Copies of this chain bind each other. A is one copy, B any other.
Amino acid sequence: MARTAGSHSDVTGPRVRAAALSLFARHGYAAVSMRQIARDVGVQAGALYNYTPDKQTLLFELMRDHMVELLEAVDGLPAGPPMERLEHFVRFHIAFHHDRPDAVFIAYMELRNLDPDNFSEIEALRSRYEAVLESIFSDGVTAQAFELRDAKVAAMAVIAMLTGVNTWFRAGGRLSLSAVQDHYWDMVHKMVVSAGGSIQP
């Protein structure tokens, strides 16, 4: 209670970020004005500058926070043999991205609107995420659990494939999310084993 007339820094800040996230995802960073964000939040445009030095920083922090959260989550996945880690990764990636469609969209679509320094920082975070999957693949090849021509290419292929779920899947449609996870895991699983079955000759 005690909602005074002029002191909302703790609540307005998150509302600014939420409005920016939604608007950037729907219309694109360049197409969204600070006035639109302010209107969504319910303040005047000038007030936004209490929460961000400028529009560019607002975009950058949304992307960085998303990538950091993604990395923390993937680092929390359980250890185990490569095949189990791969299955966890596949199911995790689909679920995590499904829960944050706006942030995912922005993280992939607005890279070109980042200033060079900001771009480098986001790209470094993305590379760290890709490296997680790549090392699952490398470990699996080393352990002779996987048969793969190129761990790097496979990592890029699988991440693109999994992220693509967000472009077509809608809850309440023909398939449940867990059915989609099952289908994708089936495809990825087959992709990493020999077409002839188990690996030992």
A residues sitting closer than 8 Å to B (CB atoms) are: 26-31, 109, 112-113, 149-150, 153-154, 156-161, 163-165, 167-168, 175, 180, 182-184, 186-187, 189-191, 193-197
Contact = CB atoms under 8 A, between A and B. Distances in A.
A168 to B, nearest CB: 5
A150 B175 CA distance: 10
B27 A183 contact: no
Contacts of A28: 28-30, 112-113
B113 A187 contact: no
Contacts of A113: 27-28, 31
A187 B157 contact: yes
> Chain A's interface: helix, strand, loop or mixed, by majority?
helix
A156 to B, nearest CB: 5
Contacts of A164: 156-157, 159-161, 164
A173 B191 CA distance: 24
Contacts of A180: 153
A117 to B, nearest CB: 18
Contact of A183 (B29, B149, B168, B183): B149
Contact of A112 (B27, B112, B156): B27
A53 to B, nearest CB: 20
16 contacts: A27-B113, A28-B29, A28-B30, A30-B31, A150-B175, A150-B183, A153-B180, A153-B184, A156-B165, A156-B167, A156-B168, A157-B184, A159-B164, A160-B160, A190-B190, A190-B193
